Amino acid sequence: MKTTLAKIAYGVGNLGQALFFNTVQTFLIFFYTDVVRLDPRLVGLAFAISYGVWNAINDPLIGVLSDRTRTRWGRRIPYIALGAPLTFLLFVLVWSPPLGGHPLTNPSHVGIFVYFAVIIALFDLAYTAVTVTYTAIFPEAFEDLKERTEVSIYRQVAAMIGTALGLAIMPVLVGTLSGRFGDLGGWTGAGVILGLVGGSAFGVSLLGSRERKEASAEEALPLIVAFKETLINRSFLAFVGANLMICYIWSWLSAMVPFFTKYVLKAEEGQTSLVFVGMFITSMACYPLWRKVALRLGSKRTLALAVTLFVVFMLPVLVVANLPQAFGMMLFVGAANSGITLVRDIVLSDVIDEDELRTGRRREGSYFGVTAWLILASG
């Protein structure tokens, strides 16, 4: 049994995960095309190969390797301890291309193209090493549904704070610092500040992380066998199917809202964030309620209920005609989304517990790594 402070400390790590992910996903391509002024075709090519294809490779690879790692500090913790400062450093370098303080005059500059491709690949490797192993600790460190739902609340609240920092604070920092250090210097400074926050969040998570000694003492499955055992697990494949549909809904919602706000609601583009505010409010407020539901119904039935309600609460999108109506709809959507985010990793944790009974080994890294890979491969 872990103390509440230790559980909160572990949950804080999700702030770093969400902050880095959302900042890169939202601003990276804009930065290299509009600020650095690299040819958009080169930006897209580098991003697709070094962040897309490479990401699909290193996710499952890091997961399986962490299952096979044996050190005096455990299987996952060394990856986080070493990877967090590297992630911070590489995150700063992502926003610091060697331009001498001025944007490109030659959009086809090969050197900056190579720099972008290499640095984003290295950043993604360090980020993956930290996030896959950080998430893999969750099922091992917190063993029953009561603990897992409690820690999941801390993780999801931290993720929402990290998302807000990545989406809302990044442009504020850039605008503030650019006045003093120039446009490029503003992005570098913002990268330093948010990188410190994200890296520190991973460091704090170590205060609440623990690994079972018996899991480290187990002989790991051979690499190919580990992949095969993961991919033929029927419970896991059922989870993957449900998870892919959830991710599709989230992606559709994120892509749809800006257009919906402008062309259906006839609102200003800047008001798009207001549509999401309602969702964030009820998501955070409803976590304690969904925890009670999960303890009563179990994780699988809770996930099914939350997804069903999410779809039902999205149906008014067919008749919503103004911003207040959209805000009200998203209050309900956020309430359902709260249940999804609370129990999604818990359902996968149950699959991992079942796999231990079948194989005699704890293989959290394999499952969380392959899950990330399948999501990327599908999208």
How does pLDDT run across 40-98, given as a tens digit for each residue?
A: 999 999 988 887 788 778 888 898 899 888 888 889 999 999 999 999 999 999 999 99
Residues 200 and 340 in one domain: no
Q: Residue 35 belongs to a domain with what CATH number? A: 1.20.1250.20
355 found inside a domain: yes
Residues with Cβ within 8 Å of 341's Cβ and at least 6 positions away in sequence, in order, are 152, 156, 159, 283
- Residue from 120, 124, 106 nearest 39 by CA: 106
- Residue from 207, 210, 198 nearest 85 by CA: 198
Residues 147 and 240 in one domain: no
Residues 16 and 53 in one domain: yes
Exposed / middle / buried, residue 88 (Cβ in 10 Å: 0-12, 13-18, 19+): buried
- Residue from 124, 105, 113 nearest 53 by CA: 124
Domain that holds residue 295: 223-360
Residues 179 and 244 in one domain: no
Q: Mark which of 217, 232, 267 sits at the end of a domain.
A: 217
- Count of domains forming the chain: 2
40 found inside a domain: yes
CB 92 within 8 A of CB 22: no
373 found inside a domain: no
Model pTM score: 0.89
**Percentage of the chain lying above the pLDDT 90 cut:** 58
Q: What value, to the nearest 5°, has the Cα angle with vertex 70 and ends 64 and 73?
A: 115
CB 117 within 8 A of CB 46: yes
Q: What value, to the nearest 5°, has the Cα angle with vertex 66 and ends 62 and 71?
A: 140
Identify the DSSP state of 210.
-
User: How far is 82 from 247, CA to CA, in rounded Å?
Assistant: 30
Token digits of residue 70: 């044996």
Residues 166 and 186 in one domain: yes
**Percentage of the chain lying above the pLDDT 70 cut:** 96
Residues 119 and 147 in one domain: yes
Residues 123 and 171 in one domain: yes
**Nearest-10 Cα torsion for 6, 12, 13, 16:** -160
- 317-343 confidence digits (pLDDT tens): 889 888 889 889 999 999 999 999 999
pLDDT at 378 over 70: no
371 found inside a domain: no
Q: Give the residue, 12 or 166, on which the prediction is more confident.
A: 12
161 found inside a domain: yes
Residues with Cβ within 8 Å of 123's Cβ and at least 6 positions away in sequence, in order, are 24, 87, 90, 91, 93, 94
CB 263 within 8 A of CB 326: no
User: How far is 254 from 369, CA to CA, in rounded Å?
Assistant: 24
CB 274 within 8 A of CB 325: no
User: How far is 37 from 107, CA to CA, in rounded Å?
Assistant: 6
Identify the DSSP state of 133.
H
pLDDT band at 1 (very low <50, low <70, confident <90, very high): very low
Q: Mark which of 217, 245, 262 sits at the end of a domain.
A: 217
User: How far is 27 from 160, CA to CA, in rounded Å?
Assistant: 18
Give the containing element (helix H, strand E) for 34.
none
In Å, how far are 130, 151, 161 from 36, measured between CA atoms? 28, 41, 28
Token digits of residue 140: 């091992």
Which pLDDT score is estimated for 377? 58
71: left (phi over 0), alpha (psi -120 to 50) or beta: beta
Residues 213 and 271 in one domain: no
Residues 34 and 144 in one domain: yes
Residues 254 and 211 in one domain: no
pLDDT band at 36 (very low <50, low <70, confident <90, very high): very high
Residues 232 and 208 in one domain: no
- Residue from 326, 371, 375, 374 nearest 136 by CA: 371
366 found inside a domain: no
User: How many beta carbons lie within 10 A of that of residue 73, not counting itself?
Assistant: 13
65 found inside a domain: yes
Q: Mark which of 187, 217, 247 sits at the end of a domain.
A: 217
Residues 199 and 276 in one domain: no
193 found inside a domain: yes
- 147-193 confidence digits (pLDDT tens): 999 999 999 999 999 988 988 889 889 999 988 888 899 999 999 99
Token digits of residue 15: 């702030």
